[in-house]
């Protein structure tokens, strides 16, 4: 099923290619969430039917937040103004969210604000230097609908690494998935090298700001130099 100008993303996910994307992302998300614990996991942005990507959540709560009502969405709010206190969320999943918003860096900065220290950030993205990116470029050149539907841009893994580093994250891992070309063949669902795959999942941890104790400097008393008596060569009579 080729995307058309008015095709909702939900319909694309019913196509063979869309189903393949969902299948591989759900399997990779399950692996990524296996060691993510805490009280709250937040998926920012709806992607696919319901909350399929949160099935492997091991936190006490999992919330799907989106700007509009959709299947599985439990909270509606702007993605760049999350209704949470700073340092209150244990983990955040951004499933292609940065590729469909006007200001991806603002969304990323807001995710950093609400994450706790050592909080986990997971981001799914399409590789712009793969066949998936080439198909998007050629589609724009021939004025065809966006591929995949709703995508405004594709961010490279390198750019994303730079962004998260600037915001105080350390990258734990990057796992590739999907084949290099956007084909519907039933490829085995397994992690691939990010540079030779159609998509990637970047997993990072928010650095903990540590306070360095600065001890007061000891006041050093100035040294008083006592001049020695000058020798005399005078001979007394």
Compute mean pLDDT per 10 residues along the chain, 237 residues long, and list them: 52 89 92 95 91 92 94 94 96 97 97 97 96 90 86 95 97 92 67 78 88 52 44 49
For domain 9-206, give the fold. Answer: Rossmann fold (3.40.50)
Q: What is the pLDDT of residue 183?
A: 84
Q: Residues with Cβ < 8 Å from 43, sequence gap 6 or more?
A: 51, 53, 54, 62, 63, 64, 65, 92, 93, 94, 95
Contact between 99 and 125 under an 8 Å Cβ cutoff? The reply is yes
Q: What is the pLDDT of residue 217?
A: 56
In the chain, where are the structural domains located? 9-206
How many residues in total does the chain contain?
A: 237
Q: What is the pLDDT of residue 195?
A: 75
């Amino acid at each position: 099923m080729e995307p058309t100008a008015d095709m909702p993303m939900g319909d694309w996910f019913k196509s063979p290619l869309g189903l393949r994307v969902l299948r591989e992302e759900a399997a990779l998300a399950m692996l990524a969430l296996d060691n993510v614990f805490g009280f709250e996991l937040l998926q920012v942005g709806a992607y696919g039917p319901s909350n399929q990507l949160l099935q492997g959540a091991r936190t006490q709560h999992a919330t799907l937040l989106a700007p509009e009502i959709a299947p599985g969405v439990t909270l509606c709010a702007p993605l760049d103004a999350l209704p949470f206190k700073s340092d209150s969320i244990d983990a955040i999943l951004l499933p292609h969210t940065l590729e469909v918003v006007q200001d991806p860096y603002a969304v990323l900065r807001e995710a950093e604000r609400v994450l706790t220290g050592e909080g986990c950030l997971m981001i799914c993205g399409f590789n712009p230097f793969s066949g998936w990116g080439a198909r998007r470029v050629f589609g724009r050149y021939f004025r065809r609908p966006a591929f995949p539907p709703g995508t405004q841009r594709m961010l490279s893994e390198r750019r994303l690494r730079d962004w998260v580093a600037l915001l105080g994250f350390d990258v734990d891992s990057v796992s590739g998935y999907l084949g290099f070309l956007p084909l519907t063949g039933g490829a085995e669902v397994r992690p691939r090298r990010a540079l030779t795959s159609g998509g990637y999942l970047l997993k990072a941890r928010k650095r903990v700001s540590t306070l360095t104790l600065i001890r007061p400097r000891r006041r050093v008393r100035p040294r008083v130099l006592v001049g020695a008596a000058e020798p005399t060569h005078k001979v007394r009579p």
